[in-house]
Structure formats: structure tokens, C-alpha cells
Structure 1
Amino acid sequence: MKILLVEDELKVVTVLKKGFEEEEYAVDVAFDGKTGHLMSLSNQYDIIVLDISLPIFNGYELCELIRRRNVHVPILMLTALGTTDNKVEALNLGADDYVVKPFEFKELLARVRALTRRANPDYGPTLLQADNLELNTLTKVVRSGDTQISLTAREFSLLELLLQHKNEVLSRTYIAEQVWALNFDTGTNVVDVYINYLRNKIDKPFKRRLIQTVVGMGYSLRDSE
């Protein structure tokens, strides 16, 4: 998931960017309305988190510009302006939700997740499976039969990606872009390292080989033979 954060307060940007990235979101930041508009034109985002009081032109104007292009990306307003009139104006211009500062990050995160779920109702099944391995995308629980498997956030994201593309061959470049939100550097072996971490947790203890190496192409997750 990719977020465009348009906010001019550096402290707020620092906190939100760190929080979202810890939840495995990729975050682009714009510090004024004009830059935010240009970034929304040149990139595709799953959600835009937008302050109202911005330099050059404000959040109301940016929201209106985005909606004029008939772009339906969810927009969440995040602002210190909390009057009913402020909220009504934002919603009338096309915002999907409105959070008033100060706020709890966990509430903001829940609202972001709710908006992206509504925007992508067919984003994917709740339960992903291969053999007797199960990954629940809502509870974040991974099991093999009756055994619960403990994964780090990055390992979970990697396994989720492999299960979403079960039986497909995924290149290292694609995996790096999806899980780490970065351009793949052929000089790094981070993908191979994390594949090995996963194998040590979901394959070796159960004497099977779900994750398979496709030489010269990448990796594939398949039911064990």
C-alpha cells in the first residue's frame, strides 16, 4: 500500500511516516499543496492523507483539484481545524474522512485501513493457504496445522505476497518493490536472506518445501508434493 502524505509540520510528518512505514506502508511526503498536486498527478496512491493549512494552496483546493480529475483515491483530511463547518466543507469537496489534531496514531491507522478496504473490496481473501499453512490477513496470525508460527512484520509481508501469488514465479525485483517499497539493487541479497528466514520457520520444522527457487527467475510458493 502506498500513501501520499501532504503535511507542512515536520514533527507530524516524522511521526506519521515512521508509524506508517512500521506498518509496511510506502510513504511519499509533500510539504505544500502544489507539490502534493504534482505528486498525485505522477504517481498512483492507495490513499492520500492531507492537511488543510498548507503553503501555496490549501488542502481544500488540493482535494478539489484531485476530484476534478475524476480520481477516486481515498482522501483523509488531517488537521487542527475541527469545526463542523470545516468538516462539512472538506466532505463536500470530496474528502472521505476527517481526523482532528491531536490524534492517536492507532485511530488514524484504523481509519486509513478502513478507507483502503472500502476502496478495494476485492483486495484479497482474509485467509491465504498453501498445504496446511494458513495466513490470516486480518488477525496477522500464521499457522501450520495446530502450530502457530511467529514472524516479524517483514517476514509476514513477504509470506503474504508469496501466498497471494501462489504457484506464480516472482522475481527478486518484484518482491523487493512490493515488500520493501524500493528499487531492487542487484548488489544486495536482502530478498534471499528473508526467503531463507521464512524457510527456517515454515518449511524446515515441518520437513517440507513450500518455497521453491526457480533458477534464474526468482521464487515460487507451491503446495508440497
Structure 2
Amino acid sequence: MGGLQILYVEDDARLAQQVCALIAGAGDSVTWCPTATEGIAKARESRFDVVILDRMLPDSNGLDLVRRLRAAGVDAPMLMLSALGRAENRVDGLEAGVDDYMGKPFEPGELVARVRALHRRAAGQAHSAVILFGDLECHVKARTAHRRGRHIPLSPKEFTLFAFLMEHAGEVVTREMLLRHVWNLNFDPQTNVIDVSVSRLRRKLEEGFDGPVLETIWGAGYRLVAA
């Protein structure tokens, strides 16, 4: 698959030149921006298939940039590149709303492969614009959640968690499934990030309504139930 339109936000000009050449060599087009301000402006002007961004930028923390891009309606999958590659750093990035996280230095071939994988995953989800279960609604493209017609404000990661649970509504979803598909981790970071995120999502989905919709199945995982 070729011809992707990629937005790349990175202040290191030498690295940016190398990555741009790598992307172009793979047959895709890249728009490079050295600052978060320019990146947001470009994202508002054009639609991109994938966004690649650095975590440490001269005018913004990369995590804040992710939140600002999501708030601006940018729904393209995002890949964060960072010299901060420890498990807790990756969890922070994924919690902020990025879809994948790579530490620096990285293998060029892996970067291209991950970009393509992110695009395939996003394209595969595009057919299901709205997922309905009980009185819950998941608007995939708009990245919004509703219950009984009421909008439920969710953070980017909470929405990703909600969407995955909606895709498996009525089924038990294990912690391993959530780590792999929501946090893009193939290992347990030994934190309570899942428990905290599920607890926050449950509170938002159930507060002000009668009846639970998100159950904890002890020793197994979590399950959405129809209210």
C-alpha cells in the first residue's frame, strides 16, 4: 500500500530529513513541521492518513499536542517517536491519545511497517460509523459516546477503550486484550492503568443513569451489559 499522506512534527531537522527520505522512499508523501503550532495549522488545513510526532517540541509537550490535535477533530492514527522509551513513558503517550509509540533510536523498516499497520487498522474500522448496544452509542468517526441520547465526554484514551468494549459488547474482554488493542502493549507494565481507566469510564457511563453497564468479571476481565 502506498500513497499515504503523513504529517510529521519534529524539531530535529537532521532526524526529520532522514525520516522524510525514508517515508518518501516507501512511496508516501510527508509534510514536515518543526513546531507544534505549525503542525496544528497544517492538520486543520489538510486531512492526513497518519500523524507522526515527537514528544519534546520547542513550543509544546508532545502529549499536549496530541490532546490539542484530537480536540481540533484530527482523527488520524498517531505515532509518537521519543527518546523517552521506558514503559511508563509509553503508557503516558498511549494514555494521552496516541495509537502507537516508538522509542529512539528506531529501525527504519519498523517505522514504515508501524505506519502502514496504523493506517490499515484505521481503514478497517471506517466501515462501522456507529456502534449500538443497549442504550449506548459509539460514533466511531466523530469519536463521541452517548447514552440515551446524552453525550458522554471522554478523553481520547477513554474513547478508545469505550470503542473496543463496544466492538465486543456482551463479551468478556481480558486485561491482555486491552493492553494489546487499546494500549498497544505486548507486555504488562505492572501498573494499575487499566483499572483506573476502566473505573473512570464506568463512572462517566453510569453517573446519572439507572443500572450498571460496565461489569468487572473478577479473574477474567470486563464486560459491557445492556441496561
TM-score (norm 2): 0.53
Moved more, 161-170 or 10-19: 10-19
Q: For 1:144-166, what per-residue CA distance to the aligned partner results, in whole angstroms no more than 9, with x for missing partners?
A: 12311111112111111100111
Q: AA paired with 2:194? A: V
Q: Check 1:149–1:174 CA distance in 2 against 1; reply closer, same or farther (3 A cut).
A: same
1:8 paired with 2:12, answer: no
Q: How many residues align?
A: 149
1:173 paired with 2:180, answer: no
**How far apart in 2 are the matches of 1:149 and 1:122?**
21
Q: Is there any run of 5+ residues in structure 2 with no aligned partner, and where? A: 1-5, 9-13, 18-33, 35-52, 67-77, 79-92
**How far apart in 1 are the matches of 2:203 and 2:121?**
36
Q: Check 1:9–1:155 CA distance in 2 against 1; reply closer, same or farther (3 A cut).
A: same
Aligned to 2:159: 156
State the 1:219 CA deviation: 0.6
Match for residue 108 of structure 2 among 15, 24, 36: 36
Q: Check 1:180–1:214 CA distance in 2 against 1; reply closer, same or farther (3 A cut).
A: same
Q: AA paired with 2:149? A: D
Q: For 1:10-64, what per-residue CA distance to the aligned partner results, in whole angstroms no more than 9, with x for missing partners?
A: 96744597543544220336668xx312x269xx53x2xxxxxxxxxxxxxxxxx
Aligned to 1:25: 99
**How far apart in 1 are the matches of 2:137 and 2:122?**
25
Q: AA paired with 1:154? A: K
Q: Check 1:36–1:164 CA distance in 2 against 1; reply closer, same or farther (3 A cut).
A: same
Q: For 1:168-201, what per-residue CA distance to the aligned partner results, in whole angstroms no more than 9, with x for missing partners?
A: 211112212322223223x422211111111111
Structure whose CA Rg is larger: 1
Aligned to 1:50: none
Q: Check 1:30–1:173 CA distance in 2 against 1; reply closer, same or farther (3 A cut).
A: same
Q: Check 1:145–1:189 CA distance in 2 against 1; reply closer, same or farther (3 A cut).
A: same
Match for residue 221 of structure 1 among 220, 224, 227: 224
Q: Check 1:40–1:141 CA distance in 2 against 1; reply closer, same or farther (3 A cut).
A: closer
The CA RMSD over aligned residues, in Å, is: 3.6
* Aligned partners of 2:126 and 2:141 also within 8 Å: no
Aligned to 2:211: 208
State the 1:141 CA deviation: 2.0
State the 1:221 CA deviation: 1.2
List structure 1 segments (4+ residues) > 6 angstroms apart after TM superposition: none
Aligned to 2:48: none
1:131 paired with 2:105, answer: no
State the 1:124 CA deviation: 4.8
Q: AA paired with 1:134? A: E
Aligned to 2:145: 142
**How far apart in 2 are the matches of 1:131 and 1:118?**
26
Q: Check 1:204–1:118 CA distance in 2 against 1; reply closer, same or farther (3 A cut).
A: closer
1:197 paired with 2:200, answer: yes
